[in-house]
Structure 1
Amino acid sequence: MRGEFKVKDGKLVVVDVDVRDGHFTGTHLSGDFFLEPDSALEQINAGVDAMPASSTVAQLSAAISARLSPDVHMVGFDPEAVAIAVRRAAGKATGWDDLTFDLIGPQVMDPTLHVALDQVIPDEVSRGVRNPVMRLWDWDRPLVVIGSFQSVRNEVDAENARRYGIKVVRRITGGGAMFMEPGNCITFSLVVPGSLVEGLSYEQSYAYLDDWVLEALQEVGVHASYKPLNDISSDKGKIGGAAQRRLVDGTVLHHVTMSYDIDADKMLEVLRIGREKLSDKGIRSANKRVDPMRSQTGMSRHQIFDHFLTYFRSRYRCVDAGYTDEEMAAAHSLLDTKFNNPEWTYRVP
């Protein structure tokens, strides 16, 4: 069996291995990494051999580390990367190429429905009634979406939100507030099985799941990079942030919002924390805008949507898809029972 793992900003690790009597055997490590001395290759192989085929990434990594002599230098990879490749070889972890995604383009709707769909769709992926999903949001009215653990009172100026007709909704993931007006942001949700991030820490999984969009941004002239824990930055500053939620079975909801062209003055009036954050960046005067995606690309928002969809199709196996009647009915039901319910919205006052 063969497993591969590309280390973020590092090298490719390839492991060929057999399983006999429930244990790994005949391990052969290869890749474009650097390793000194040469004899360390056999030490790593020996660290995997005889380990139970059910071993976790942590157990395999510990067994490999225990075999390495003090003079070993691993450049571009580490024992954990080898362990992940072993797990993939054994079919316990998956790579992007093992998946077929349902790709859903932007569909204009009440943004609260998108928040609800981020609960509906991961449940379907978890139950196996949906492929993994990559979907783009679009919306027709303003909304502030706060993180699962944020305080409404601390984050939102209620009087100004009412004055502008902006509702507040709490999502199921952590992280910070999203200030959403029609056309001002680009948001996508990615729902994948837990096996895709097998063995990765939360921080590593953010970088791993954001990798495709960083490459897509490079193609349209945005020199983007991942900034721990959950930010996407460019050479001109932060452009977006990510949030995650993992279901009991490991299914991952990963969504990202990036600024296209935001009315910073209005955002400062509505978001209390936003005032402090943006004042640190020197955005204090009237008529300032946060427009990194528009100014850096020169593209319309829908051109960027199209580019993201085209890039994702070129990189991964996809089928074009839409929302089912059952999904939309479930999302509408959640509006009544949860996302429009003050008990949920104000669970952290």
Structure 2
Amino acid sequence: MHGEFKVPGGKLVVVDLDVTDGRIADFHLAGDFFLEPDDALLDINAAVNGLPETADVAQIAGAVRAALPEDVQMLGFTPESVGTAVRRALVTAAGWRDFDWEVVDDPAVSPMMNLALDEVLTERVGDGRRNPTLRIWEWDESAVVIGSFQSYRNEVDPDGAAGHGFQVVRRISGGGAMMMGAEQIITYSLYVPSSLVAGLTFADSYAFLDDWVLQALHSVGIEASYQGLNDITSPQGKIGGAAQKRLANGGVLHHATLSYDIDGQVMTEVLRIGREKLSDKGTTSAAKRVDPIRSQTGMPRRAILDEFMKTFRSYTGAVDGSITAEEYAAAEELVRTKFSTERWLHRVP
């Protein structure tokens, strides 16, 4: 069995193993990480050999850590990443390049259509009717998108939203509200089969699916890293956050929103907890703009998106794709029956 795990912001961990009588055998660790002393590699191999095939990441990491000398230096990987690679081998997880990827950068649609397309395309990837896909969001009107489990009245000031021309909509994934003004944010969605994240904890899957984004941000000069469950950050403050929704048919939606250039004052008038959000992004004054990408790069938003897509293509071998007429039609029906309804918008009052 063979398993690989690219440590977010770190190195590639590769494992090969057999299973004999319910226990791991003939285990070998490899990768482009750094390890001192050199013979600690043999200690890791010995620690994993003989573990039950049901061992989870924590058990494997504990065995590795206990076997290592006190002066060991592990650079670019951890005992937990070894455990993750082992679990991915045992469940025969797929890698990024095991799939034929598409990148979709279609013309702008309404915020509700963007939300409906997320559901439609995730379902089709889960059913095998669409290749795994990266889709760049573009929208033709401003909106506040609240998380699936957020309270409408706790999150949004309706008068402020209306006064600034922001429609309020609700998405199918959890997480916090995002304010989608024209040219102010960068949003993308990944539609992937569950086999890509097999063997990963739910928390680890967030950083795993956004590792290519860190590479893209590094390529434009931003020292980005992953923090906590779902935050992308830099030394100048938070850049953005991700959210997921997993469907019963095996389709996984992972999407993220990054702040390009947001008007902080408007945020405090549209979102009830805008001041806390600004503080989270390292901005002390509501009058300032939340602009970690624009200020750190000086690049136009479209140029940043081009770099994102370039990085993703090199990471996955993706080709350009497009949304089909049938997919658009299915999304339009979902807008009519779900996303435009008061029942959905106020499912959490």
Query: One fold, TM greater than 0.5?
Result: yes
Give the aligned partner of residue 175 of structure 1.
175
SS in 2 for 1:242: strand
Q: Is the 8 A contact 1:13 1:33 kept in 2?
A: no
Give the aligned partner of residue 286 of structure 2.
284
* Compared CA separation, residues 175 and 43, structure 1 to 2 (3 A): same
Identify which range, 219-228 or 7-16, moves more after superposition: 7-16
Give the aligned partner of residue 44 of structure 1.
47
Indicate the RMSD between aligned Cα atoms, in angstroms.
2.7
Give the aligned partner of residue 141 of structure 2.
141
Alpha-carbon distance in structure 1 between the residues aligned to 2:58 and 2:34: 17
Q: Is the 8 A contact 2:133 2:192 kept in 1?
A: yes
* Counterpart amino acid of residue 47 in structure 2: I
* Compared CA separation, residues 239 and 25, structure 1 to 2 (3 A): closer
Offset, 1:29: 2.9
Offset, 1:230: 1.2
SS in 2 for 1:305: helix
Give the aligned partner of residue 195 of structure 1.
195
Offset, 1:242: 0.9
Map of 1:5-84 to 2, 5 A cutoff?
5-18=5-18, 25-31=25-31, 32=33, 34=35, 40-47=43-50, 55=53, 58=56, 62=59, 64=60, 70-73=66-69, 75=74, 77=77, 80-84=80-84
Identify which range, 84-93 or 115-124, moves more after superposition: 84-93
TM-score (norm 1): 0.87
Q: Is the 8 A contact 2:9 2:214 kept in 1?
A: no
Q: Is the 8 A contact 1:57 1:84 kept in 2?
A: no
Alpha-carbon distance in structure 1 between the residues aligned to 2:257 and 2:124: 23
Q: Is the 8 A contact 1:262 1:291 kept in 2?
A: yes
Map of 1:231-250 to 2, 5 A cutoff?
231-250=231-250
Give the aligned partner of residue 165 of structure 1.
165
Q: Is the 8 A contact 1:6 1:13 kept in 2?
A: yes
Offset, 1:215: 1.0
* Compared CA separation, residues 83 and 249, structure 1 to 2 (3 A): farther
CA shift digits 1:19-67 (9 cap, x unpaired): 679976533333445377565245235225xx5xxx5562x864x5686
SS in 1 for 2:245: strand
SS in 2 for 1:272: coil
Offset, 1:269: 0.9
Give the aligned partner of residue 261 of structure 2.
261
Q: Is the 8 A contact 1:29 1:45 kept in 2?
A: no
SS in 1 for 2:256: strand
Identify which range, 22-31 or 258-267, moves more after superposition: 22-31
* Compared CA separation, residues 83 and 235, structure 1 to 2 (3 A): closer
Alpha-carbon distance in structure 2 between the residues aligned to 1:306 and 1:65: 39
Offset, 1:14: 2.4
Give the aligned partner of residue 101 of structure 2.
101
* Counterpart amino acid of residue 199 in structure 1: G
Ranges in structure 1 where 5+ consecutive residues have no aligned partner? none
Give the aligned partner of residue 151 of structure 1.
151
* Compared CA separation, residues 19 and 271, structure 1 to 2 (3 A): same
* Compared CA separation, residues 61 and 181, structure 1 to 2 (3 A): closer
SS in 1 for 2:323: coil
Alpha-carbon distance in structure 2 between the residues aligned to 1:222 and 1:30: 30
Give the aligned partner of residue 293 of structure 2.
293
* Compared CA separation, residues 222 and 68, structure 1 to 2 (3 A): closer
Matched, 1:305 2:301: no
Matched, 1:340 2:343: no
Give the aligned partner of residue 184 of structure 1.
184
